[in-house]
Amino acid sequence: MKEQHKQPSVVILATGGTIAGVGRSAEETTGYRAAVLAPQDILPREIDLSRYNITCEEFAAVDSKDIDDALWLRLTRRVNELTAASSADGIVITHGTDTMEETAYWLSLTVRTAKPVVLTGAMRPATAIGADGSRNLLSAVKLAADENAKNRGVMVAFNDCIFDAASVVKNHTTAVNAFAAKNSGAIGYFTDRAPVFYRRAEIDAPQFYFDTGELSALPYVKIIYGHAGDDALFVEAAQKAGVRGLVYAGAGNGSIHARAAAALARAADSGIAVVRCSRTAEGAVQGSEPYGEKFIVGGLLPPAKARILLALALTQTDVPSEIAEFFT
């Protein structure tokens, strides 16, 4: 008797973005309206999708530049609900590309499941010639439904590549191959029928997990971008605004202008957690010299992701040495 294979169930959570965007003409790839179409209108009609049980849910309709901590908290709760249900084998989240890497990293720290959670989006609105959204969404559905995608943490499916949440970054303003993982590379790719993995991510699932179920807001953390001629202005302004943490995007190996460094040291002495990152695209921030132990070393994390980890760490501890353990 022929073996019956279970039809995988995939839930698509739509949050808006370019993938759901509509332009005034087929030539328009900027200036369009984001977050217009429903996900069922983006799925390719040329492909037989009956092998999947697909459910679509309109979770939000935002341009991803406008996503905030409150939406992340709601999204985590919903993803946790869906992955806890036996009816869902995998989750796909359609998302704008501007902050996709941040949402993916956030979810990797706040969702605990063996089931695949996959983010995808598009660089061109659905109405444009060469729109990439339908193909990316199809790839994401394939990945979320694949048995081999289990226990690999949160992933991003984009332009026939598979990226892990910790490493993926948006690397280009408008190109369809906008995403990359410069320090480690993609963890897999898509054939015509199925995802194929090169390797496992360095950490398949986070070694730590933050339960955000009772949180209504995150600790206030800001990023300061370092530059030649920097001073104490933004550091002191952030202190006055009541930040609990600061991420400094320094030059090179997280280098900080002397005037800014002095202000950051004063902030650290006042109880503000300070993380030193780099504005450089590749490489890890290493060592503590000449800043001593006042600043936490951000390692491989780019500033935007370091802000997320610092805010979550601050929900558990204010002790710099304990926060530093999350970053190492």
- Cβ contact 55:101 at 8 Å: no
- Among positive and negative, which fits the CA dihedral 239, 241, 246, 247? negative
Summarised one tens digit per residue, pLDDT across range 75-87 is 999 999 999 989 8
Give the Cα separation of 172 and 187 in Å (integer). Answer: 19
Full set of structural domains in the chain with CATH: 9-197 (3.40.50.1170), 221-327 (3.40.50.40)
Secondary structure letter of residue 115 according to DSSP:
S
Catalytic (active site) residue 328? no
Quote the distance between the C-alpha of residue 204 and its chain's center: 15
Q: How many CA atoms lie within 13 A of 19 on its CB side?
A: 36
The closest alpha carbon to 276, from 262, 263, 261, belongs to: 261
pTM for the predicted model, two decimal places: 0.94
Ranking 182-196, 200-214, 257-271, 310-324 by mean pLDDT, the lowest is: 200-214
Supply angle C-alpha 99, 225, 173, rounded to 5. 40
- Cβ contact 247:221 at 8 Å: yes
Percent residues over pLDDT 90 in the chain: 81
Burial class of residue 281 (count of CB atoms within 10 Å of its CB; 0-12, 13-18, 19+): exposed
Name the catalytic one among 15, 18, 76, 99.
18
* Residue 201 predicted with pLDDT over 80: no
